[in-house]
Structure 1
């Protein structure tokens, strides 16, 4: 899902819809990190590039979930995306 798609799904209207989505996702990342859960925010991407915004990677590093080396972010993101997807309701075995 894209940031804009999430804003629309949440019924957010301008101004600052994407900024509000990003702030909410950052709060979720902090909560997920505290509870040892995969980042659900990994499932939200930019229209351009198909990856989360740079702030996602910066916060993931700050929270100790991603390596500091940007060259390793894509690999860390793929694993986080896989984990987040697997944690979604209905994604487990027998679903």
Structure 2
């Protein structure tokens, strides 16, 4: 039986590969589609996905890298222009890390997310990271 910590690292490596490909294409990806492409097992696959994305945000933040997890978005959460945004927990985590000081929805959240996406796509989209980070 594999160690749960190894499972988490494997999941994060798969998520990073999928999201790096999205960055190279200038795209974002809905949570459910990301879970499918990264082969996140159920039950509770979306919950596992969000925990892994939170870990990725923390790791990228500490390493001074743009947030690759910003490319993962919710189909339900929309900005004022109708564009997909991450779930509200993304903005709460950014606030906890000192990267954002605003509401978890609306124009300020959409602007924050747009900036994070642009930085992530510019940085991660220009890299060939077959083995992860």
* Fold conserved between structures, TM > 0.5: yes
**TM bracket (short chain):** 0.7 to 0.9
Residue 11 of structure 1 is matched in structure 2 by 39
1:14-93 equivalent positions in 2, closer than 5 A: 14-48=42-76, 49=78, 50-67=84-101, 69-70=102-103, 72-90=108-126
TM-fit CA distance, 1:7: 0.7
Alignment deviations for residues 35-86 of structure 1 (CA, whole Å, 9 cap, x no partner): 111111110001122110111110011011112x216222111111100011
Unmatched 5+ residue regions in structure 2?
1-28, 79-83, 128-133
What's the TM-score once normalised by structure 1's chain length? 0.86
Name the Cα RMSD after superposition: 1.5
TM-score of the two chains, using structure 2 as the length reference: 0.63
Number of equivalences:
90
Which runs of structure 1 show a deviation greater than 4 angstroms over 4 or more consecutive aligned residues? none
Give ranges in structure 1 of 5+ residues lacking alignment.
none
